[in-house]
Structure 1
């Protein structure tokens, strides 16, 4: 089933030119209203910087998970990416431009290319259990939206605030990487948690067909390198697809972990829903200019990923089996599907 997202220009697939709404939209270059976008209307942004009706602000809206707020002005829209770590950011929301034949496809890892979300939620659960000193601890169903789709530190900080406010993020990260390092080594050695990494249904056929069409391929993940690369390597072995570094034109991760005795790279503050990972994959990894973004699509299963794509100016395609609905970001998608065959049909329709 293909769900045509409702947003700027009404119901549409990404292969249909969108109408210009800059003169009428409450959120220019984004959508007609909070309701049309499936967002929650708000009187002001969470930091109090912008208020509906003040200083030229037409409206304020927020995603269902509260991670991104949109501020609509007469001729432009700003996006406020909130942060539990104390470093929020504002971004201009770019237009998507007219759809063009697809030159590149960017894809998320966890939940999109690989089904491993349950494994990483389990690692968060194990880390929290270690903080509590309770091996029988289990997360609640209501925690799932807060421990998936964002950065490791944000996941851990949420658990600390709810279950063990007397513990530090530093302690939580130490336990997290102890569990991760143990499990990654076990998996690469042929053991580990059974069924941790499973190829998404139809992913092999989809990737190979894109490659045969000459479409550039980018893998983009908010996961740190030490947890992300073993995933895709393991899945490529399962699928008998060789070396992922040779297959993809670009693999962008959130970097490497900061820790005593080793050098880390930026990984916890700039991941999705910030646009930087997708922007880097587009311009640096694939060598495509910002002006070529209309010929690129991004495939995601999480609300954070959908927002990251949209803020990078890339047309988002959402998979229905992720947390897009729960995060309240479905209206930001320009296409929602159940499988890769439907995406391929749309790509071919563009010529």
Structure 2
């Protein structure tokens, strides 16, 4: 039986498409220290892949007396300020793979827990029309690790989630992708992804093409039971 074709690739943003995790950490530490607290590298790593609301609560626990929305707005503004200075810090191979997917006619979505205004700012800095759909943290009621963000992206693209590959760098993001039913690809950066359950782990995206993602999707699809396929 012929395997269904790869319909779309769903990209996480921070740490997967762009190496912005250090920007978030650079914003968190002085904020905590402003109010007399301390913020360790281990605590910063614990924020990787979290929804911004959860990150804000951890910062509040560390002594930041602001409300959740105020913390999120501050962090977003700080990261955007750094991006405006440095441009888009693509992870190795990410821009090239994204461009190859577009040339091959594969639909793409950005699925991030960052705020929509930040996601759109990153997209606007890319020098070609990179994404068909953007789903951000303020677009969903239940953030990663719930499957909702990926399911919403697939629905907006008109794709069956099982005909997609989701690319992630964090355990939380991978859990979201796996729960959604997408073929999940882990590309670790700050934290290890062993044992999370990804269908595949690649050290980075250097030299990878649409053909590689099609092969990954086909290999996983062949192992799945034959079910009626519907768009979600």
Shared fold by TM > 0.5?
Answer: yes
> Helix, strand or coil: the match of 2:158?
coil
1-side partners of 2:167 and 2:195: how far apart?
13
The answer (yes or no) to whether the contact 2:15–2:21 under 8 Å persists in 1 is yes
Distance 1:331 1:187, change over 3 A: closer
Q: Which has the higher contact order (CA 8 A, sep 6+)?
A: 2
| 1:204 counterpart = 2:95 | yes
Q: Contact between 1:124 and 1:155, CA under 8 Å: does it hold in 2?
A: no
After superposition, the Cα gap between the structure-2 partners of 1:294 and 1:224, relative to the gap in structure 1 and judged at 3 Å, is same
Counterparts of 1:250 and 1:175, CA distance in 2: 27
The CA distance in 2 between the partners of 1:320 and 1:344, in whole Å, is 20
Q: Cα deviations across residues 278-316 of structure 1 (Å, max 9, x unaligned)?
A: 110001x2012xxx3332110000111101111111111
**Displacement of 1:187:** 4.8
- Measured in 2, the distance between the counterparts of 1:348 and 1:121 equals 35
Residue 254 of structure 1 corresponds to: 137
Corresponding position: 1:153 with 2:53 = yes
Residues paired across the two proteins, number: 216
Partner of 2:184: helix, strand, or coil?
strand
Give the direction of change, closer, same or farther, for the CA distance of 1:99–1:129 in structure 2 (3 Å limit): farther
Q: Secondary structure at the match of 2:137?
A: coil
The aligned runs of 1:175-324 (5 Å cut-off) are 175-178=71-74, 180-181=76-77, 184=80, 187-188=83-84, 191=85, 195=86, 197-234=88-125, 236=126, 241-242=127-128, 244=129, 247-255=130-138, 270-283=142-155, 285-288=156-159, 292-324=160-192
CA contact (8 A) 2:110 2:131 kept: yes
Aligned residue for 1:45?
A: none
Is the CA contact 2:9–2:107 (under 8 Å) kept in the aligned structure 1? yes
Contact 1:109 1:219 in 2 (8 A): yes
Structure 1 residues 100 and 145, CA gap change in structure 2 (3 angstroms): farther
Residue 198 of structure 2 is aligned to residue 333 of structure 1 = yes
TM-score (normalizing by structure 1): 0.55
CA contact (8 A) 2:175 2:196 kept: no
| Ranges in structure 2 where 5+ consecutive residues have no aligned partner | 220-232
Q: Which has the higher strand share?
A: 1
Computed over aligned residues only, the root mean square deviation of the Cα atoms, in angstroms, reads 2.9
**1:299 match: secondary structure:** strand
TM-score, normalised via structure 2 length: 0.79
| Secondary structure at the counterpart of residue 108 of structure 2 | strand
Q: Is the 1:125–1:138 contact (alpha carbons within 8 Å) kept by the matching residues of 2?
A: yes
Q: Which has the larger radius of gyration?
A: 1
- Aligned partner of 1:347 in structure 2 is 213
